[in-house]
Amino acid sequence: MNPKRVAIVGASGYSGEELVRLLLSHPGVQLAAVTSRQYAGQTLAQVFPKFAHHPRARKLCFSEPKAELLAQEAQVVFLALPHGVAAEFAVPLLQLGCRVIDLSADFRLKSPGVYKDFYAREHPAPALLAQAVYGLPEVYRDQIKSASLIACPGCYPTSILLPCIPLLRAGLVRPAGIIADSLSGVSGAGRKAEPDYLFVECNESVRPYGLPKHRHLAEVEQELSLAAGTQVTLQFTPHLVPVSRGILTTLYLAPNARFDRPGDLGEFGKKVAACYLAAYRDEPFVRVLEGQNLPDTKNVVGTNVLELAWRLDPRTGRLIVMSAEDNLLKGASGQAVQSLNLICDLPEITGLV
């Protein structure tokens, strides 16, 4: 069988570069086209010397992003573009018969009204929202397989949803009053020159931002509400930390249980352990930590794995769940390649381990 031909629009950005790395050595597909306006005409090897050992990187040139040309070159197109721009490419690419894996926020929300509320603009292609599948394989694996438009989750949302969804589905935690604190490396902001993200501004600095209504809240609340069967409203504080990549999230959850008698806490803990075991025992990219270990970005950066651990606090009665992931892999490009493997009917781990 001929390998599927794939293209990356926005291949010069951080998540695009990670897609290039993964797809150059992916055994089931051929990287057929990469776009960048600023580097059009230069080879991948010229722009990213770290790929120069790969023969294809010495041949394949960046091109101007044009949907008609991309559709001639590739059957599956990744969009690693800013939101708003991604929809401009998704519409013609789908019309031309491509399958589209979008890393932006353009198709993650089901409601154009919520999109307008959080992104301060009318949705550019509301007719496509119903057909888009949220690209979280651990939750939507079957739908992704046959989807023509996949909306990959955001980096923070992945770090919140994978820990919370099994607990909410099982009714083990209350949907109300969930609090999430996240710490993100600077690559989360993309490869753009903005004063806030200059080395001198970020180094030796830790700061919150995007309060109280970070854009990612919209998709997190959408997906948590589906899991809980009732509207979930989340308190979320993201922080920028001086590392290149990685996200660490801490969640504060209220158990749906009373701890009146000795032993109640232990019984509840057993239910949490069983819930995570059932959800993630067979998942190749979710690692539930045991024993004393706690999530640490250094264990997951460079991998497509999200690791998580939980603790019950007997003094406050809260369940604390922590997760760590690489924002550019499980939070973006690695997760997108999981979806690629699903639509190509390949083992989900292909090219990712």
Which residues of this protein are in contact with ligand NAP, per CB under 6 A? 10-16, 36-39, 65, 80-83, 85, 103-104, 154-155, 187-188, 190-192, 327-328, 331-332
Closest separation between CB of residue 326 and ligand NAP, Å?
9
Segments in the chain forming alpha helices (H): 14-24, 44-47, 55-59, 67-73, 85-95, 112-119, 137-145, 155-169, 199-202, 216-228, 264-280, 334-343
**Cα–Cα distance measured from residue 180 to residue 248, given in angstroms and rounded to the nearest whole number:** 10
- Does the annotation count 155 as an active-site position? yes
Cβ nearer to ligand NAP, comparing 192 with 281: 192
Cβ nearer to ligand NAP, comparing 106 with 276: 106
Closest separation between CB of residue 170 and ligand NAP, Å?
28
Contact 195, 258 (CB under 8 A): no
**Cα–Cα distance measured from residue 353 to residue 338, given in angstroms and rounded to the nearest whole number:** 11
Closest separation between CB of residue 244 and ligand NAP, Å?
11
155, 202, 275, 344: the active-site residue: 155
| Token pair listed for 214 | 């970070």
Closest separation between CB of residue 32 and ligand NAP, Å?
17
Cβ nearer to ligand NAP, comparing 221 with 325: 325
Closest separation between CB of residue 104 and ligand NAP, Å?
3
Cβ burial 202-226 (10 Å sphere, 16+ → b, else e): beeeeeeeeeeebbbbbbbbbbbbb
| Token pair listed for 105 | 């926020």
The closest of 164, 161, 182 to 254, measured between CA atoms, is: 164
**Cα–Cα distance measured from residue 307 to residue 330, given in angstroms and rounded to the nearest whole number:** 10
| Nearest residue to ligand NAP, by Cβ distance, number only | 13
Is the Cα torsion angle 259, 315, 288, 175 positive or negative in sign? Answer: positive
| Token pair listed for 104 | 């932006």
Closest separation between CB of residue 260 and ligand NAP, Å?
43
**Cα–Cα distance measured from residue 116 to residue 188, given in angstroms and rounded to the nearest whole number:** 22
Judged on CB neighbours under 10 Å (0-12, 13-18, 19+), 298 is: exposed
What residue has token string 């051929």?
30
33: region left, alpha or beta (phi > 0 left; psi from -120 to 50 alpha): beta
Contact 169, 227 (CB under 8 A): yes
**Active-site annotation, residues:** 155
